[in-house]
Structure 1
Amino acid sequence: MAESPYKFCSNCGGSEWIEKSEREFVCAACGYRHFITPIAAAVAVLLDAQDRVLVVRRAHEPGLGKLGLPGGVIEPEETGEMAVAREVHEEVGIELPASAFTYFLALNNRYPFQGFTWPTIDLFFVARVPNFDSVKKQDSEVSEVLICPLDEVPLEDFAFWTNAEAVRRWRDGK
């Protein structure tokens, strides 16, 4: 049987499942269908005038102490650009309008959360700032901020392969 995040049916509270596929589970009691679908996340590739990229060190699991790019789950009623602008402000204090972000790349990922590894689709957006003077890290999210020349980003130290791949593709596309 495939791994399921569902302990109880959200319709009737039943706890027995019929596995239809690795992404579909049907409540044996009422027939309610539960699906595992990708969760959309928005991630920022922030660059300054010197073409350096802002990288953060994660202050929480998954990937505690590993590197990443600012980003997170897209909330209801948000576009990807709105979400990435919000996440950048929340994590590193840089305030940019959603219009400052340009779509770059989408990559499928897996994100372990509350005992289940959720499929995600990581949407990467690029924004440029004159400098990183206004950075103010949020300690609950970020333990350190690194400003790295693109060819010196330690890609092997990233918590998520998608973040490293986005930096690599941006760097190689230059």
Structure 2
Amino acid sequence: MITGSPFQYCSRCGHDTMAAASSREHVCDDCGYRHFITPFPAACALILDADGRLLVTRRAHEPGLGKLGLPGGVIEPAETGEEAAARETREEVGLDLPPSAFRYFASLPNWYYYQDYLWPTLDLFFTASVPGFDSLAPSPEEVSEIFALPLAEVPLADFAFESNAEAVRRLQEQRARLV
């Protein structure tokens, strides 16, 4: 549950008279402007190679420094989820796939600690397939390691975010049913 407020000053009038009307709504006592906390949309990539291995990263920054992750991040203005998945994959691991390579898989709520506040996110997961992971180039600011792990062996408890672990669990379950 969210506590406190990320809003110290009203974005309309600049006064520091913010009051919580609920856990997601904060109102300026001076001008009445209402500020809402809503989930940020994020795109995450579940990329499998021809051998059924999943591309997994190790995070190079907080939150979740040293924990496992998936290529992904906040969706930019005027960007589709598939475009964001392609961009984040290219930026984080150097794998250049077109947005059309990504297929919607699931959406899951998540929490992301940023600038002293625990923000809600809505993580959109997309799948993609590649022949192999031979030409990856991790961005050291984002990723400290890259793994290609057999899908059934991905350690769910080692993920930085529960949404990532749950998406991988669902993918494992889906693939197990197909065998």
Please say if 1:113 is aligned against 2:142: no
Distance 2:82 2:131 in 1: 19
Q: TM-score, normalised by structure 1?
A: 0.98
Distance 1:18 1:39 in 2: 22
- Secondary structure of residue in 1 paired with 2:85: helix
Aligned-residue offset at 1:93: 0.2
Distance 2:32 2:61 in 1: 38
Aligned-residue offset at 1:2: 4.2
Q: TM-score, normalised by structure 2?
A: 0.95
Unpaired stretches in structure 1, ≥5 consecutive residues: none
Aligned-residue offset at 1:151: 1.1
Distance 2:53 2:86 in 1: 19
- Secondary structure of residue in 2 paired with 1:21: coil
Q: Which amino acid aligns with 1:92?
A: V
Distance 1:167 1:129 in 2: 17
Q: State how 1:1-174 maps to structure 2 within 5 Å.
A: 2-174=3-175
Moved over 6 A (4+): none
Distance 1:2 1:137 in 2: 35
Unpaired stretches in structure 2, ≥5 consecutive residues: none
- Preserved contact between residue 2 and residue 19 of structure 1 (Cα < 8 Å): no
Alignment size in residue pairs? 174
Q: Which amino acid aligns with 2:32?
A: G
Cα deviation, 1:27-84, whole Å, max 9, x if unaligned, reads: 1111111000000000000000011000000000000000000000000010000001
User: What RMSD in Å do the two structures reach over aligned CA positions?
Assistant: 1.0
Distance 2:19 2:5 in 1: 11
Q: Which amino acid aligns with 1:124?
A: F
Identity of aligned residues (%): 61
